[in-house]
A and B are shown apart, each in its own frame.
Chain A
Amino acid sequence: MSAAVSPGAAPEPSPAPKLDPREEAPRIPSPPYRRPSLRSAVGILVLFVLFGSLFYPAAITGLAGVVVPHNADGSLIANPNGTWQGSSLVGENITDPHLFWLRPSAADYLPFQGAGDSSSYGPTDPMLRNVTLRYIAEYGLTNVSVPLDLVSASASGLDPDLTPGAVLVQVPRVAFEDNLTQNWTTRFVLAHIETPYAGIFGPQYVNVVELDLALVHALALMGRPLPVPSGELSSLCPSGGEPCTAGS
């Protein structure tokens, strides 16, 4: 048995006697080389698949499904007719002038696209200015000072949030289109500002997906339901009966 000792837990071999240890550290012959075992390698692979790929996700999926089912499913919002309206975490390409808009998106808010960073310009690329100016024009905000987040693409292309300033700057348009007072609309927005969690985590922001849903709901309660946007949603609404608005 030529193999030397030591699992992780090797007892220290007693120091060899030295004449003058500072002169020359005696070289110890290398332990024998054995060819690595393929069986061990395949065995480790099986082990990592069993634990890392199967046991680990299955255990957490089971646990999360019981403890936090809403989170585990993706924080989904249901339509009244039982279909999904989306996730409160994922932004939408809202272009209806009656509603608050989100940031421009390289992915058009299509999660399946997986935009990644395809939208970026360098920090001093003239396009950075040009694109920003174009968005300001598209959002119809050339006469006011516009917060950058409203007129710049997010990293994910799916950002559902805006800074409070970026929502408030849209109040005149939304109030006009929905025939609301600016005062009421402003207070409505202010009531939907999320504050930093536990006082320190995150900024003040507004989840615009939830804000618009609440707005649609509030307008419906006032007896002024919004026309349903074009698209397949209308075909799913029950014909006749109640006005088909999203949100409950």
Chain B
Amino acid sequence: MFDLRSLLDVGLAILIVLLIAPFLGRYMAKVYMGRPSLLDALLDPLETAIYRFLGTHPRVAMGWKEYAASLLVLNAVATAFVYALLVAQGSLPMNPLGAPNMSWDLAFHTSVSFMTNTDFQHYTPEHQLSMLSALLGLMMLMFLSAATGLTVAAAFIRGFVRRDGTVGNFWVDITRTLTRILLPLSLLGAFLFALAGVPQTFTGSITYFPLSGGVHILPLGPVATWDAIEFLGTNGGGYFAANAAHPLQNPSAVTNFLAVIMMLVIPFSTIFTFGHMVRRPGESWPLLVTVLTIFLVALGLFMYFELSNPFLAGVATQNSGYLYGAETRFTIPEDALFQVSSIYANVGATSMVLGALTPVAQSTLLFGMFLQSAPGGDGTGFGMLLIFTILTVFIGGLMVGRTPEYLGKKIGQPQIKWATVTILSHPFAIFVPLVVALVSGLGAVAAGTGPHAFTVLLYEFTSESANNGSGMGPIQDNTLFFNVAGAVVMLVGRYLPILAMLAIGGSLASQDTLPPGPGTLRTQSATFALLLLGVLLILTGLLFLPVLALGPLSQIGVGGL
């Protein structure tokens, strides 16, 4: 058993997130609605200069196609820039530990991975990434991918209130997301991390002479700043390979606590941003209740099934919990909170080895990535939730036999078409490469055979399609197949839903708003929250339970589990 006091830590972290979220959510709504805020005096002149530099006019709004095209062009330009950095890093400056140039396929996978908010790492940062690539390349992409996700959510939500076919100005949205949301929060977060013991230096490494003898190299760097945007941006790529398990990246239970708050705060706030932007703050509550229910149940399941591993009973005592592949400085509830937050908010940072988790704990994490929306990553997670909400409204509308409508906008064929494509694209992007890997034998080469190897492969592609980025080792995935297939899966898993969200937003913005009629489904109700919960769980379960049964769940019953 663990120290029961650490349940207070868990409860406090969730409570703080829920206390911040309404205020941060309202502030974010102000940012996207262009309402005055405290930072105006400082930022208005700066942003005006930026818009002039960009050659855009802040009052010019775009239709969804132009918004999407601008987003894609920006993401493509940034990916190409980072790709060039990575393949040439060996001959560029700021490379204290002599990282070599990346191969083309590894650089492709890495640049796509960070641009798509996945941050799946097929490379080992300690000796395969220069500090220049880390700062100028990957850390920049961590800001950019999180900002991209949030602008998508803003544009999607605007579809419910606008009636002129426009969804906003992409260049303005992304600038304001950086200057008013991500940068201030990251500055605060990074400073807190440094206070709590995370290193922050431009020294690339030190040489040290430990008590145990020998001469070793300790890689260092601007870890606190990396950490803050890794978590706040729901990115999840580690400055070190061991990510949040590394004692320099997550040195104590206090930094663990801060990390959890940073991972959850923007995804939960976005739910409130939605209510304010559609000018019906009450609409946030059913969504929040649904997401929170799923999150807490997952947390409880994970925690319970990590208390011990019966398979190791009699071998060693597990008085402090099942610490195989975990770090001693965190309790089991703290590990559970970190891991469930990281996977359910599609961050993908790991504070423990996922491969050795018990089968139910593994299934819990996989289910979070199948859902993608409880609460999901910055912006896109809420977008997925809104897509599920639209489907729920549609199903609810069919039940009462009226034209479905949500917030005064009709939910019809174009919206449902895009929503269906999005939801089906996820299993498609996971299963096709999974089958290829299994049939070709490449999967067996990388991960071995048996139910656990199947789980590892399933986890790899699920994580990439969900833009999560955590990995369940051991797997030899820095190969041509896994790099290229993984990059394609990440691109599909990122941009197809983004296009769908913008398209739905655009199509809704081209409709007039209807007053509620007698057949309108009341969405501000517990019934609707329950219906949404059912749709989320049933749709996801139907799509994915078979593979869960083939992978982790098939190990239940082995050796007393």
Contacts and interface: CB of A to CB of B under 8 A. Distances in A.
B8 A200 contact: yes
Interface string A1-29: 00111111110110110100110011111
Given A201-B253, A203-B331, 8 more contacts: A27-B510, A30-B165, A45-B74, A48-B143, A60-B200, A64-B200, A115-B242, A147-B320
B514 A161 contact: no
B282 interface: no
Contacts of B140: 45, 48-49, 52-53
Given A52-B229, A110-B216, A22 B315 contact: no
A13 to B, nearest CB: 6
Contact of B209 (A31, A84, A112, A213): A84
Interface string A84-101: 111101111111100100
Contacts of A32: 63
B536 to A, nearest CB: 27
Contact of B354 (A44, A85, A117): A117
A22 B240 CA distance: 57
A156 B126 CA distance: 13
Interface residues of A, number: 137
B352 interface: yes
A248 interface: no
B316 A6 contact: no
Given A85-B209, A90-B248, A41 B77 contact: yes
A181 interface: no
Nearest to A84: B208
Contacts of B209: 79, 83-86, 231-233, 236
Residue among A13, A40, A146 with the highest chain B CB neighbour number at 10 A: A40
Residue among A15, A22, A37 with the highest chain B CB neighbour number at 10 A: A22
A243 B9 CA distance: 45
Contacts of A15: 163, 512-513
B222 A61 contact: yes
A177 interface: no
A83 B144 CA distance: 40
B311 interface: yes
Given A31-B166, A117-B472, A128 B356 contact: yes
Contacts of A189: none
Contacts of A75: 197, 199, 251
Given A96-B212, A113-B126, A115-B242, A155 B517 contact: no
A86 B187 contact: no
B58 interface: yes
Interface in B516-561: 517, 555, 558-559, 561
B325 A117 contact: yes
Interface string B77-113: 1100100000000000000010000000000000000
Contacts of B162: 6, 10
Contact of A90 (B124, B218, B316, B509): B218
B355 interface: yes
7 contacts: A30-B165, A60-B225, A71-B197, A84-B218, A128-B324, A232-B215, A233-B210
Interface in B167-205: 168-169, 171-176, 178-179, 183, 186-187, 190-191, 194-203, 205
Contacts of A112: 97, 126-127, 205, 216-219
